[in-house]
Structure formats: C-alpha cells, structure tokens
Amino acid sequence: MEIRIRRGRRTDYDVLRELGAWPGVESSAARSARLFRRVVSDLAYDLYVAEHGGQAVGMVAVSYVRELRIGGQRATLEDLVVRLDRRGAGIGRRLLEFALARAARRGVRAFEARPPDEGAARFLDRLGFRAAGPRYARPLAEERA
C-alpha cells in the first residue's frame, strides 16, 4: 500500500474530524476549527497526515517543549489516529516512526506518549517505548466557547 505522509494544512480540520480525531473534544465547532488552525500554524506543534490515493487515512500530532530538567526539547505524542477500515495495515507504525525521525532531526532529547488504553500501550511497547511513571495534571482555566 502506497502511503504518502504530508504536513497538515489549515484546511484539514473537517478531513481529520472524519477520521475520528478528537472524539472527546467538548467544544463548539467554530471554536474547535479556530483552535485547529492555530495549532497547525504553531512551530511547537507538528501535525502530519497519511494519505492513500489522495484520501486521508491517518494522522499524527506531536507537541514540543523545552525542558531544563532534560537539557533540551521534549516531544509528546498528542494524537495518533488511523481510519477504522485501515487499521492493522501498518499506517500507525509508519506515522509514529515518521514522527520519531522528525523529532530526532529537531534535536529532541525525550519523546513521550500517554497511551489511552492497553491496546495503545502494547503498540507503543512494540515500538520501544517503556512506562515512565504517572503524570498529574490540574486544569487552570474553564473552556471558553
């Protein structure tokens, strides 16, 4: 299967929603689209789309932050989505390997992921990721519509 990986575009919002990206996002469509356009333009964020025959079949999103503790950049896998009817064809692996290579070229010192379920954790294990302990988070602001 010939897969082409390209940088995400500001116009990809509807295409990626159809893939099933961000199913749990509770927000207005207009706010979500605005946020998506800002994220795609942000230099601290990578979004790439996998295409087959000109049709989107997957996407990967990675954020970057400088961190004093590790003496450089840390990358975080934010999203990895493959269209349901294309899962198991190696598209997710290709997208994640692409993201890892891109992060390495950027000089990233650590690449982390927070798997949402056991299946995702097993997938990450197969690609060399290891559990690195729990993370805690606290919301700072209410979402504005």
Pick the CATH number of 4-126 from 3.40.630.30, 3.40.50.720, 3.40.50.300, 3.60.15.10: 3.40.630.30
pLDDT for the residue 97: 97
Mean pLDDT for 122-141 is 85
- Residues in CB range of 112: below 8 A, 6 or more apart: 74, 75, 76, 77, 132
**pLDDT tens profile 7-66:** 998 888 888 878 765 554 455 666 677 777 777 777 789 999 999 999 999 999 999 999
95 contacts 50 by C-beta, under 8 angstroms? yes
pLDDT digits (tens, 9 = 90+) for 66-121: 988 888 899 999 999 999 899 999 999 999 999 999 999 999 999 999 998 899 99
- Tell me the pTM: 0.83
